[in-house]
Chains A and B, each alone.
Chain A
Amino acid sequence: KAGVTQTPRYLIKTRGQQVTLSCSPISGHRSVSWYQQTPGQGLQFLFEYFSETQRNKGNFPGRFSGRQFSNSRSEMNVSTLELGDSALYLCASSLTGRGTDTQYFGPGTRLTVL
């Protein structure tokens, strides 16, 4: 079974630009969650999508948005990039997104904002 894939793996953008990251979950998984990791902060929950609907959202500004398609693939968008958005962005998929489900992580997208 193929694992979770994320594209691109690396991105360099400048302040003010916008960026779109993509996540393809494990086949059959309907829940996709997104996390941000910055040095010293650990993994911070951004949002979770299930059946094309945002079901849960973390404490991030509205510049961070996402969507999920009918095939469960998900995209995350960050508009008006700031230097502090430089981070590793991970997505994770699970069957239903319930708290007892195992989450399977992708390799992440490393975003650098200059």
Chain B
Amino acid sequence: ILNVEQSPQSLHVQEGDSTNFTCSFPSSNFYALHWYRWETAKSPEALFVMTLNGDEKKKGRISATLNTKEGYSYLYIKGSQPEDSATYLCASYYIQGAQKLVFGQGTRLTINP
């Protein structure tokens, strides 16, 4: 079963606090893991594409880690700002059968000023 789970579903954080959330995916036949940020009324914006176990990527205050052996990735936001409010999506790329990105349901992050 091609299933990507994200937790929590939603999160409220005070401005200035740091936060993190999780993406779980089947570890067998892993190929690549994508993270996107989706702000309301905008297009999903690519954050990271990760492929290697132990990989760590960073973009400003946002970073992500990848564990392909146990099938999870963490996304971290340091010093949250109101502009970080968005839905964060992860997607695992499957190469069995139809090659495609399978998305999780997302984590909806709200930053309280």
Q: Which A residues form the contact surface with B (CB < 8 A)?
A: 3-4, 33, 35, 40, 42-45, 48, 55-58, 90, 92, 99-108
Contact = CB atoms under 8 A, between A and B. Distances in A.
Contacts of B99: 48, 55-56, 99
Q: Which of B32, B46, B100, B103 has the most CB of A within 10 A?
A: B100
Interface in B28-53: 31-32, 34, 36, 42-46, 49, 51
B31 A57 contact: no
Given A48-B100, A56-B100, A43 B46 contact: no
B101 A57 contact: no
A59 B19 CA distance: 35
Interface in B64-109: 89, 91, 93, 95, 98-106
B44 A90 contact: yes
B43 A106 contact: yes
Interface residues of B, number: 24
A42 B44 contact: no
Contacts of A58: 98, 100
B57 to A, nearest CB: 12
30 contacts: A33-B100, A33-B101, A40-B105, A42-B89, A42-B104, A42-B105, A42-B106, A43-B89, A43-B91, A43-B101, A43-B103, A45-B100, A56-B100, A58-B98, A90-B43, A92-B44, A99-B32, A99-B93, A99-B95, A99-B99, A100-B31, A100-B49, A100-B51, A102-B34, A104-B46, A105-B36, A105-B43, A105-B44, A106-B43, A108-B43
Contacts of A42: 89, 103-106
A101 B49 CA distance: 8
A90 B45 CA distance: 12
A42 B89 CA distance: 9
A45 B49 contact: no
Given A42-B105, A42-B106, A100-B49, A107 B100 contact: no
